[in-house]
Amino acid sequence: MQIGRSGRKLEFPLNELASEKNIDTEDQSPKPGSGVLRFLADILETILLSVILFLGINAITARVRVDGQSMVPTFDSGEFIIVSKLSYKFGEPERGDVVVFHLPRDPDQDYIKRAIGLPGDEVVIQDGSVFVNDRELDEPYINASPTYSGEWRVPGDALFVLGDNRNNSSDSHSWGVVPMEYIIGKAVFVYWPISAIGVVEHPSIALAAP
């Protein structure tokens, strides 16, 4: 009840006040099950974003584990490496690149080696040295000079690859060149173990003067 300025009593029916109070209460109360639906929607959104992120990362990178001693001293067995799949989508391999590829004779296996001969190159290994197009390579990254010899002509759609541990590596000197279509990408980063974390170096191989 309120008192108006004229002194007259202003009355409001109690049942109308109660009705208005009930309406306000009903409007403010959450709908049954709305919290559960919101929770489920959040989970679905998180899963969807995770799938998109996973597919996106896999589209541009690969993760490989070094197995064996063929790339010592550059990599040790057990190291995990991130590989860029985009490097050769927008550019060409360079001599000295560390590349990851499907093994030509068994595509289910992935290998990691160093690109030595590019398309069209002539590679000769003799007297412990590697020659490309009659010019000796300066290779400070190898474990030891090769004790084998041979000559290879690299086709226009392939790479000639060797392991840095020359005398303990299954590579092009034993099974031939790698077709470009078998190349997965370029090794760019070691992410495990912690002691080995770092960017993979790709020295531009210097050719001795003819």
**Which residues have a catalytic role annotated?**
70, 113
- CB-CB neighbours of 9 under 10 Å: 9
Strand order in the sheet with 129-132: 150-153, 122-126, 129-132, 135-138, 206-207
Instruction: Say if residue 73 is preceded by a cis peptide, omega within 30 of 0.
Output: yes
Report the run of H or E that residue 45 belongs to, with start and end: helix 34-60
Residue type, 92: E
DSSP 97-150: -EEEEEETTEEEEEEEEEEEE-TT-EEEEETTEEEETTEEEE-TT-SS--S--E
Exposed/middle/buried for residue 117 (C-beta within 10 Å: 0-12, 13-18, 19+): buried
State the Cα–Cα distance between residues 36 and 78, nearest whole angstrom: 45
State the sign of the Cα–Cα–Cα–Cα dihedral 177, 181, 187, 193: negative
